[in-house]
Chain A
Amino acid sequence: MRAFATRLIDFTELNADKIAAQWVRDVKTNIKTYSYHDAPAEKIMRQAIEFYHSFRQMFFDDSPYEQAEEIFEKFADDNYQNGIPLHETMYAMILMRRHIWLYAEFQSIVISETEHRKAIESLSRTILMFDYIMYVIARKYWKIMKLELQEQSGRSTQ
């Protein structure tokens, strides 16, 4: 798997700007990511590029969950502070994943039959990472909200 995955990762990193630009176009028009429609394009573009660059780190790490925690707790925090609802953040992440594969398919990086098999393995690995990401983001949103409520009730009873 490693050789194909490396190619996919290299490809994603090399084309991070282009993939991110397509993602930005998508989130800014998709009905499921409404809060992104008025968000400054450069800001969310930076977010996507950062994500595509950190993809290698997560992909090849022996503990992808810990990596997901490190990277995406901050991502969730930023989105929460920017007022993006959780379901939209989740969908934006789903679109980030889809755009990697859409771009890879469009550029035909999977050609031979053997590559097809390896592509499935890479796809499975990508999905595993995204499963962790979804969990980490949902948990972080929940934590921030709980913390804010606790702080608030603490202040009210002081």
Chain B
Amino acid sequence: MQSYGTKIIDLAETNAKDIARQWAADVRKHKRTPTYHNIPEDEVIDQAIIFYMHFRQMFYTDKPYEAAKSFSVKYAEDRYKEKIPLQEALYALILIRRHLWLYAEFQATFITTLEQRQATESLNRTILMFDYVCYQVTERYQELMKAEVDSRLGIIKTLTMDHTEKGEKSFYKTGIIIVALIIAGALTYYYHAMLGTATLFTHLFYIPIILSAMWWRRGGVYISVFLALMLLLSHAIFLEGVPFTDDVVRSFMFVVIGAVMDRLMDGIRKVEGIYKQLTT
């Protein structure tokens, strides 16, 4: 394997800067890589030089997939940080490969029949490496996108208990909501029946409403309706003669907050779903 690739590898290493410069000129005006157009040449050129200097290592290995990975991961991470869209990062790679072969053709590197055969084998090997690089760069980009979404949704993910086991998660969620509802019921009873006042400490009621909206689809609406009915019923039983106005407003607000939370969580679930589809 060592012999057939020597010419193209030597060419890549010896002329890395020249080839990279031609590539940079191309990528900085190519219509399929518009994000590169405003990046200074000095910053762009290194991307190709790194590849051409890495070429020998990737070419002469029994494990080309692993060898390609060390380059691909770094390439993907750097381009992602520079906010280059994936399709442009891939096309820039394609151009890196093309410019190597264009240079080889221009320098008339493969003329004789034997050299032509070597060219075919070298080209096949190069394409194999690029297949791996394209796959790995795409995969890494998606991992990075997922990590970014995960970190942005960090608090919500913690509250939704996404990290706990399924059975365990369901047990804790149900338990917490039951306890919160019991507390809400006890508070309502205490204020209405014992103190005989409608001035109720209802802020705590929002906790089960918000949590259930995060944990179950339409959970916010169901729990808020339940709490609203409980409040109004308790008022009817224990507070005869006291106007309903305040408790009706409170109940209405429970349902509004529950519905809004459900809607927001639908949005977050959808965003998560889109990213999951791309990355899993």
Contact = CB atoms under 8 A, between A and B. Distances in A.
Given A94-B131, A131-B94, A138 B138 contact: yes
Nearest to A82: B277
B239 interface: no
A134 B135 contact: no
A86 B142 contact: yes
A150 B119 CA distance: 47
B169 interface: no
B127 interface: yes
Contacts, number: 76
A149 B131 CA distance: 30
A148 B267 CA distance: 11
Interface string B210-228: 0000000000000000000
Contact of B127 (A116, A127, A155): A127
Contacts of B263: 156
Interface stretch (A14-22, A49-57, A117-125): A117-125
A83 B270 CA distance: 14
Interface in B250-280: 263-264, 266-267, 270-271, 274, 277-280
A148 B274 contact: yes
A87 B138 contact: yes
B27 to A, nearest CB: 13
A136 B124 CA distance: 23
A85 B280 contact: yes
Interface of B: 32, 85-87, 90-91, 94, 98, 113, 116-117, 119-120, 123-124, 127, 131, 134-135, 138-139, 142, 263-264, 266-267, 270-271, 274, 277-280
Interface of A: 32, 80, 83, 85-87, 90-91, 94, 113, 116-117, 119-120, 123-124, 127, 131, 134-135, 138-139, 141-142, 145, 148-149, 152-153, 155-156
